[in-house]
Amino acid sequence: MSNTTNNHDERDTVMENMLDLLAREDRTEPDAGFEDRIWHAMHQATETRISGRRRKKSTAWIPFVTAACVGVMGYIVWMPMINVDLETNDQTVASVLDDDFSADILLSSFDAMDMLIADAEEVDESLSMLELQIDTNEFEVSVDSTWQDLGGSL
């Protein structure tokens, strides 16, 4: 058992030595300027980043100015149109006004109904009076018309 373990250890050591040799070869592969190139690339990347930042700063005003221009344009274009609509009673505005008007009528008729219901007895009386008057008038009119017809025929 211990012999097998020793063999395993030995073979692992052989393998590890081979791998270390390979790693050493890979590490020594780049030329002497390798570190300098790393250093240069490192600083170049940072410089690019800084210059990128500066460019961003210099163009930072563009969205604000654009937004302001859009606001001013909107004011100039839309404000006169709103005034014209009010003065010329545009359909949209008119429909709104109609709605308001009908709503007022509805409310006032509700008030009248309330008053009528409150004075129900008076309404009954006045209704019967009206019926009487109508009947009388119809009679009178019918009488008048009969005599007029007679006179006409004579």
Partner 1 sequence: MDEHIAGRELDDQRHQEAAGQSDDLAALVAEAARGDGQAWSELIERYARRVYALAKSRLRDPDEAEEVSQAVFASVFQHVSTGRYTERGQFEPWLFRIAMNRIRDQIRRNTRRVRIESHTDRVISVPSEVADESHDLGKLRSAIDSLNDSDQEIIGLRHQAGMEFKAIAELLNEPVGTLLARHHRAMHKLRKLLGVDAQAGVSHE
**How far apart are CB 22 and partner 1 at their closest, in Å?**
5
Cα(102)–Cα(124) distance, rounded to whole angstroms?
29
Does 140 interact with partner 1 (rule: CB under 8 A)?
Answer: no
Structure tokens at 147: 């005599």
Q: Which is nearer to partner 1, 22 or 79 (CB)?
A: 22
Does 35 interact with partner 1 (rule: CB under 8 A)?
Answer: yes
Cα(23)–Cα(15) distance, rounded to whole angstroms?
12
Q: Which is nearer to partner 1, 42 or 67 (CB)?
A: 42
Among positions 49, 53, 54, 55, the unique one binding partner 1 when judged by CB under 8 A:
49
Does 52 interact with partner 1 (rule: CB under 8 A)?
Answer: no
How do the residues of the chain divide into helix, strand and coil, expressed in percent and rounded to 5? Answer: 90, 0, 10
| Residue in this structure with the two tokens 């006409």, named with its chain if needed | 152
Among positions 2, 5, 41, 65, the unique one binding partner 1 when judged by CB under 8 A:
41
Query: Please, are residues 65 and 59 in contact by the beta-carbon 8 Å criterion?
Result: no
Q: Give the interface with partner 1 as residue ranges (CB under 8 A).
A: 4, 6-7, 9-23, 25-30, 34-35, 37-39, 41-46, 49
